[in-house]
Amino acid sequence: MTTKRFSCSLKNLEEICDYITHCANEAGLSESEVYAVQLAVDEASTNIIEHGYGEECPERIDITCEPVEEGLKVVIYDDAEPFNPEAVPEPDINVTLENMKPRGLGLYLIHKMMDEVHYESTPNKGNTLTMIKRHSR
Amino acid sequence: MEIKTTEYKRCTVVKTKGRIDGSNAHELSATLKGLTSKGNFNIVFDMSEVNFMASAGWWALIDTQKTCKPSGELVLSGVDKGIKESLNLVGMGTYFNVFDDLTGAVAHF
């Protein structure tokens, strides 16, 4: 299990992706599974920076990777304002181009890309987003 | 982010490489808006060297497609397998004509 700390900046997305790619490869995920984890972690980190902290700041985003028997477990911790996933509107999928609106897509993608997604917020631990990607073999 | 635009007789090709995410999607968006504001509505986005695209990048493309149609069209070429899979997963794949290579995409116009 490894944990890496990043500051809250969109400039860190590439470094976050490099770290998560390394973890996913180490866990033996396939190429398309690695891409799914990259996208889910990128969308989650972007949401924390843009909607959680709401700005670039020195606050932490801690990312823990843990290879598990069925694949890879990724946990993201932050101290931003707690958020209610149920308050995020479901994006309109399979609508005409004119009716496509940029809302709720990041969270939707996270759920689509990963096999398990859990969110928890506690006063002493902050926000915890736990995601599992299982390998298909 | 380095973005190259090349004018062809019937379309403009836009090319960048690497990652498109929340940190740089606005640069792609600005380039595409610059083209459409000058009346260039036939655009090929050459993605042959793009290996990652988050939803911020997709919005730049969707906004552009909304502006281009019906006078013209934004088409994609050389889309990475992972990007294509994720686009299709959220039903956005249907908004774009996708070509395997640049020659086919340019010939579309």
Taking only the tens place, the pLDDT of each residue in A102-126 is 777 889 999 999 999 999 999 888 9
Range of the domain at B65: 3-107
Residues 6+ apart with CB under 8 A from A32: B81, B82, B85
Query: What is residue A137's predicted lDDT score, i.e. its pLDDT?
Result: 64
Is B37 an interface residue toward A (CB < 8 Å)? Answer: no
- In DSSP terms, A7 is beta-bridged to A60
CA proximity to B1, closest of B13, B11, B16: B16
Chain B residues with CB-CB distance to A39 below 8 A: 52, 54, 82, 86
Residues 6+ apart with CB under 8 A from B79: B47, B87, B98
- pLDDT digit string, tens, across residues B93-106: 899 999 999 999 99
Average pLDDT over residues A12-28: 97
Q: Best mutation site among A101, A105, A113 for testing chain B: the one with the most B CBs within 10 Å?
A: A105
- Structural domains present in chain A: 2-134 (3.30.565.10)
Longest distance between any two alpha carbons in chain B, whole Å: 34
Residue of chain B whose Cα is closest to the Cα of A50:
B22
Beta-carbon neighbour count of residue B71 at 10 Å?
10
Is B51 an interface residue toward A (CB < 8 Å)? Answer: no
Residue of chain A whose Cα is closest to the Cα of B65:
A97
- In DSSP terms, A60 is beta-bridged to A7
Chain A residues with CB-CB distance to B56 below 8 A: 46
* Tokens found for residue B48: 């042959």
Residue of chain A whose Cα is closest to the Cα of B87:
A109
Average pLDDT over residues A58-77: 95
- pLDDT above 70 (res A80): yes
* Tokens found for residue A130: 């736990």
The CATH number for B37's domain is: 3.30.750.24
CB-CB contact of A122 with A134 (8 Å): no
Domains contained in chain B, number: 1
Distance from CA of B73 to the nearest CA of A (A): 12
Query: What is residue A94's predicted lDDT score, i.e. its pLDDT?
Result: 77
Query: What is residue B89's predicted lDDT score, i.e. its pLDDT?
Result: 82
Phi, psi (deg, nearest 5) at residue B101? -135, 170
Is B66 an interface residue toward A (CB < 8 Å)? Answer: yes
